[in-house]
Amino acid sequence: MMTFLSRNLTQISILLCMTGVAIGQMQDQNITIDPGVVVHHMEGGIGASWHAMISDIPLENEKYDYPVRFINPRGSAYGGNPPLSDTSAWNQVWHHARWLGLDFIRVELSQRMYEPERNVFDWNNEEMQALYRILDWCEANHADVFLQQMWGHVEWNACPGVHPLLSAPRSLDDFAQGIATLLRHLTVTRKYSCIKYFCITNEPPGGTWGYWWSYGQGSGTVTSAWKKVRETLDREGIPIPLSGPDWTSLPPFDPLKIDFDEYLGAYDIHSYGGIDYEGEEIIAGWSDWAHAHGKPFFLSEFGNMNLGWGGTNPGPKSFAASLSNASDAVRCLNLGTDALNRWSFVNRGDLDGQWQLIHTWDTESKQYVKKINPEPEAYFGFAMLSRFMGKYPDLIFWQTDRCIDGIKLTAYRNRDKSISVLFVNQEKRPVRVKVTITGQEDKLKFNLYQVNEDMVKQPGFQLNPQPVDHNRKQPRTIVLLPESISLFTTLQLRQGDPGITD
């Protein structure tokens, strides 16, 4: 029998399906779910990146020996939020975040926002006001915040000759003290309790690609910065754990590279190439290491760059991307990942591909829109992951009597005891699934939600439940549509209901 194998009851491994099955008009798969066996308790949830940065600052590359190599390396997520004066638009953004049930959100900022000059702090500028609005929503809706300093972008602490957008901090003491001052302001002065983790820099060298954190002709390591920031936060009485290394993209796990464990309270990496069986080994390596050291493991940025990168390429917001992302998410959840964060919630979509879940910016007129609508293929595809899963769910045991390469699934139980099974069918044919629930949960009523490309492209599409009939003498039977995402769940959320967060 093919089974969902567990390393132990707190660390799980996905079954590797290395061979296909005979092609037929309709394939069958039998699944048994045992809600009484918890194989992993997640320390987070699912959400999407939310930039607070607004200002488009001229690069002035000619001033530096080590200039910016891309047209705009910050990407198009900056400036994705509506103007602060447009209250109606902000209310629409908040509504979409609530509907999606975003509960683990990577909130992004730069040091320039709050400390433009050494020991000169600006808490009231436009970008900080945008940050407060995002954190206010997270606080009110019980979303956990993974607070991310993307880069410094401050001339006063840049290494000689290095563009400040790329530079490592010249003074680690000033760098660490600035972060401590920021976190004290946010958690003590403004009393945000939603900030659960802090990451000091985006995608530093060490992974398969790294751009930020340049020393020019000097030298140094990110480890020394993690050490200094952790020591400074401890001295200041700020208990927020640091997360890292924040390497990209699917950096192979190598314990010899980890000289920073004592400074981190969580591990996180990024993935942009899709996750295959080799990628599963990488995820498993990071997850195993983090959990063995008593720390959570996050995929803090993910998407599929293979479906489009650069310019206004629509690939990242396509349903093909949603299907790929859902498959990646299921693989990661089955391997013990504690939280996943999609790139990104708001995004102008005019520089490095259209990654946005909601449409806030018109790329042709280069203006903010008044009516903020979903990008339906991305929005509803991602909703199948985020809308029904709350924070800190339990992954529960499942097994199947056969393996179909194109079918990925995972099962979880929210803290309200609702049970869900998420299916991703990447096959170009339907698959009939017979689901057996063991124990008392077999008596519960289940519903089915499904999306595919044709559905979500229909004007006015709504994500409403379909009841699943149950003859107690037989397993429940559902049909997974070709190239679709399906959720078999005891939850009953109609289109007008908010998503599950806390």
Angle among Cα 65, 67, 68 to the nearest 5 degrees reads 170
* Three-class secondary structure assignment of 396-452: EEEEECCCCCCEEEEEEECCCCCEEEEEEECCCCCEEEEEEECCHHHHCCCEEEEEE
Query: What is residue 155's DSSP assignment?
Result: G
Whole-number percent of the chain with pLDDT over 90: 86
Query: What string of H, E and C letters represents the secondary structure of 57-110?
Result: CCCCHHHCCECCCCCCCCCCCCCCCCCCCCHHHHHHHHHHHHHHCCCEEEEEEC
- At 306 the pLDDT is 87
Dist CA 41 CA 162 (whole Å)? 44
Using CB atoms within 10 Å of the CB of residue 421, give its burial: 0 to 12 exposed, 13 to 18 middle, 19+ buried: buried
| pLDDT for residue 92 | 98
**Is the torsion defined by CA of 271, 275, 280, 281 positive or negative?**
negative
Output the pLDDT for position 19.
34
pLDDT reading at 496 higher than 60: yes
E strand map for 243-352:
243-247, 266-271, 297-302, 339-342
- Please determine, for residue 412, whether its predicted confidence score (pLDDT) is greater than 50: yes
**More confident position, 350 or 288:** 288
Partners of residue 195 on adjacent β-strands: 145
Question: Bridge-partner residues for 342, per DSSP?
Answer: 48, 302
Over residues 260-286, mean pLDDT: 97
Per-chain mean pLDDT for the chain: 93
AA letter at 381? G
- C-alpha to C-alpha distance for 356 and 361, rounded to whole angstroms: 10
Tokens of 28: 């069958």
CA atoms within 13 A on the CB side of 37: 16
- Asked if the model's pLDDT at residue 16 lies above 60, the reply is no
Q: Residue 22 pLDDT more than 50? A: no
21 pLDDT above the threshold of 60: no
**Can you give the pLDDT at residue 4?**
35
Mean pLDDT of 152-163: 97
Residues 6 or more apart in contact with residue 223 via CB below 8 angstroms? 259, 260, 263
CA dist., res. 48 & res. 106, Å (int): 6
Give the Cα separation of 465 and 444 in Å (integer). Answer: 15
CATH topology of domain 1-75+86-391+400-502: TIM Barrel (3.20.20)
The predicted model gives 441-459 an average pLDDT of 97
- In sequence order, the 6+-apart residues with CB closer than 8 A to the CB of 18 are 277
| CA dist., res. 341 & res. 352, Å (int) | 18
Res 228: pLDDT: 98
Return the domain boundaries, the chain: 1-75+86-391+400-502
- In the predicted model, what is the mean pLDDT of residues 420-430? 97
pLDDT in tens, 378-397: 999 999 999 999 999 999 99
Q: Mean per-residue pLDDT for 130-134?
A: 98
And the tokens for 346? 């708001």
Return the pLDDT at 55: 84
Rounded CA separation 502/494 (Å)? 18
Residue count (the chain) = 502
The residue-averaged pLDDT of 256-264 equals 98
- Which residue, 100, 78, 47, 93, is CA-closest to 498? 100
Q: Measured between alpha carbons, how far is 102 from 394 in angstroms, rounded to an integer?
A: 17
pLDDT per residue over 451-478, tens digit each? Answer: 999 999 999 999 999 999 888 788 999 9
The SS3 of residue 252 is coil
- Residue 294 CB neighbour total at 10 angstroms: 7
> What is the enclosing helix (H) or strand (E) of 320?
helix 319-334
Q: Tell me which residue of 482, 390, 446, 349 sits closest to 358, measured CA to CA.
A: 349
Range with the poorest average pLDDT among 55-69, 92-106, 229-243, 293-307: 55-69
Q: 500: left (phi > 0), else alpha (psi -120 to 50), else beta?
A: beta
Q: Is the pLDDT of residue 15 over 70?
A: no
Cβ atoms of 389 and 368 closer than 8 Å: no
Interaxial angle between packed helices 319-334 and 277-292, expressed in degrees from 0 to 180 and rounded to the nearest 10: 40
| 43 has pLDDT over 60 | yes
What is the band of 210 on the pLDDT scale with cuts at 50, 70, 90? confident
Residue 71 banded pLDDT, cuts 50, 70, 90: low
Query: Between 490 and 3, whose confidence is greater?
Result: 490
- Cα 101–105–111 angle (5° rounding)? 155
Q: What is the token pair recorded at 104?
A: 């683990």
First to last CA, the chain: 37
Paired strand residues for 167: 214
Residue 211 CB neighbour total at 10 angstroms = 17
Res 308 pLDDT > 60: yes
Distance of CA 364 to the CA centre of its chain: 28
Closest CA to 295 of 263, 264, 252: 264
Instruction: Give the contacts of 368 (CB within 8 A, at least 6 positions apart).
Output: 82, 83, 86, 89, 360, 361, 362
Place of tokens 């702090």: 121
